[in-house]
């Protein structure tokens, strides 16, 4: 049995916060794989089902982010799960929006949810870091993560990312970290924030003319008409360009 934990804060006011991307990912997995309705237990919301024949528990701790470990510890103790049986999905401000990094073990990176989980179940669980971007200054971090995803973010990368996580959730269970990161990268197709800000041309079918080198640009344009070889014009040109 594998436990997939999504981190976030409970309550409607936090539902679409960047800090709640873990909750959103677990909800997407539950919908895609027809898990039963979440029930309240172990200080969280939990649902038990299967993904491609593998038994899976989905958990959304309801203790608020800073005490997420209380709920995770209760579940792992009851089901006799070790750290290797646990994957935690959470927001990461040090990754560009839509980027994903996965590893087993390591530090908490200052994330309060992991800081609560680490001492309660150990460090050897899988960490699925879902990038939400950095606001640019440490004083803006809190309002950034507790702010809602914009419609542009949702369309550019959030919805594709959540769909891809749900489609490939079996890779989380089987520990195919590189395979999953590749699938998610393809789904998002690069930096979502950058793509959402990319201006569109008025006519997307028009191609911009290729830029010329400075040497080519400096060359005189080729004559549009053939220079006459005989007649009054030819005689004038010969006199004009006659060498001394």
Active site residues: 19
Q: What is the C-alpha to C-alpha distance for residues 201 and 161, in angstroms, rounded to an integer? A: 26
Contact, 129 vs 95, CB < 8 A?
yes
Question: Residue 52's closest CA among 219, 170, 199?
Answer: 170
Question: Residue 26's closest CA among 90, 84, 74?
Answer: 90
Contact, 97 vs 153, CB < 8 A?
yes
Close Cβ partners of 80 (under 8 Å, ≥ 6 residues apart):
none
Please identify which residue in the block is written with the tokens 């004559």: 223
Contact, 61 vs 40, CB < 8 A?
no
Strands of 54-61's sheet in order across:
39-41, 44-51, 54-61, 2-6, 86-92, 126-131, 100-104
Close Cβ partners of 61 (under 8 Å, ≥ 6 residues apart):
5, 7, 43, 44, 67, 68, 70, 71, 72
């Amino acid at each position: 049995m594998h436990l997939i934990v999504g981190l976030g804060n409970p309550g409607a006011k936090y539902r679409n916060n960047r800090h709640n991307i873990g909750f959103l990912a677990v909800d997407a997995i539950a919908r895609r794989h027809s898990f039963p309705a979440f029930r309240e237990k172990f200080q969280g919301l939990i649902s038990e089902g299967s993904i491609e024949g593998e038994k899976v528990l989905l958990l959304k701790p309801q203790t608020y982010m800073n005490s997420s470990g209380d709920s995770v510890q209760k579940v792992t103790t009851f089901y006799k799960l070790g750290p290797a049986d646990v994957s935690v999905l959470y927001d990461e401000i040090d990754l560009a929006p839509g980027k994903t990094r996965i590893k087993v073990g390591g530090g908490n990176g200052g994330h309060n949810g992991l800081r609560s989980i680490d001492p309660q179940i150990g460090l050897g669980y899988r960490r699925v870091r879902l990038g939400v971007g950095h606001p640019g200054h440490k004083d803006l971090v809190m309002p950034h993560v507790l702010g809602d995803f914009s419609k542009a973010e949702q369309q550019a990368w959030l919805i594709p990312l959540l769909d891809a996580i749900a489609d490939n959730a079996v890779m989380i269970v089987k520990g195919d970290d590189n395979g999953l990161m590749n699938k998610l990268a393809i789904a998002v197709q690069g930096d979502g924030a950058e793509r959402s800000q990319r201006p569109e041309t008025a006519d997307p079918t028009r191609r911009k003319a290729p830029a010329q080198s400075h040497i080519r640009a400096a060359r005189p344009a080729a004559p549009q008409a053939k220079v006459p070889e005989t007649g009054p014009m030819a005689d004038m040109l010969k006199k004009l360009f006659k060498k001394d």
